[in-house]
Amino acid sequence: MQILQPSTFHEFEQYYRLRYEMLRMPWYQPQGSERVEDDATATHLMAVNEETGEVMGVARVHMETDTEAQLRFLAVGPKYQNKQIGRQLLHAVEDKARAMGATDLIVQAREYAVNFYKRNDFNLEQETYLLFGEIQHYQMRKHL
């Protein structure tokens, strides 16, 4: 497995396809909803299967303040789940956040992902919002 920053049109196409398939399509959201306004200023990462070239997982990070980075859109494809891909992407995001000057990393975790973040040393801060009327989110933080 290799973690890289997508740079070509094809890489970004694969990156956004997985983001859509994992984080929007199951809730009947339209294509395009996986993209957000500040994507252009964020750092995107993707885990790639070196043998097949298939995108295994994706994530992005951006600075919220001078010292606080936010992780968004962490997703791992179905056949790569429970194989430590998410954990490796998370560590790459943490490294990138530190390199950008962050001392804290925050995430708005979906309810089903809270335990994943807890296992990776994030602290639960508060319940935040309901996405698509059904997915509860929780703000979590990790001191880097």
Mean pLDDT across the chain, nearest whole number? 96
Asked, for residue 31, whether it belongs to a domain, the answer is yes
Beta carbons of 115 and 67 less than 8 angstroms apart: no
Q: Cα 109–91–29 angle (5° rounding)?
A: 35
Residue 75: domain span = 2-104
Report residue 32 as tokens: 């395009």
Asked, for residue 113, whether it belongs to a domain, the answer is no
Asked, for residue 86, whether it belongs to a domain, the answer is yes
Under 8 Å CB-to-CB from 130, ≥6 apart: which residues? Answer: 136, 137
Identify the pLDDT of residue 127.
Answer: 93
The reply to whether the predicted model has a pTM over 0.95 is no
> Is residue 133's pLDDT more than 90?
no
Asked, for residue 110, whether it belongs to a domain, the answer is no
Asked, for residue 6, whether it belongs to a domain, the answer is yes
Q: What is the pLDDT of residues 12-61, one digit of tens each?
A: 999 999 999 999 999 999 999 999 999 999 999 999 999 999 999 999 99
Identify the pLDDT of residue 122.
Answer: 98
Asked, for residue 81, whether it belongs to a domain, the answer is yes
Task: Using DSSP, state whether 88 is helix, strand or coil.
Answer: helix
Asked, for residue 37, whether it belongs to a domain, the answer is yes
Please state, for a pLDDT cut of 90, what percent of the chain lies above it. 96
Q: What is the pLDDT of residues 73-82, one digit of tens each?
A: 999 999 999 9
Q: Give me the number of domains the chain comprises.
A: 1
Give the type of residue at 15: Y
Asked, for residue 129, whether it belongs to a domain, the answer is no
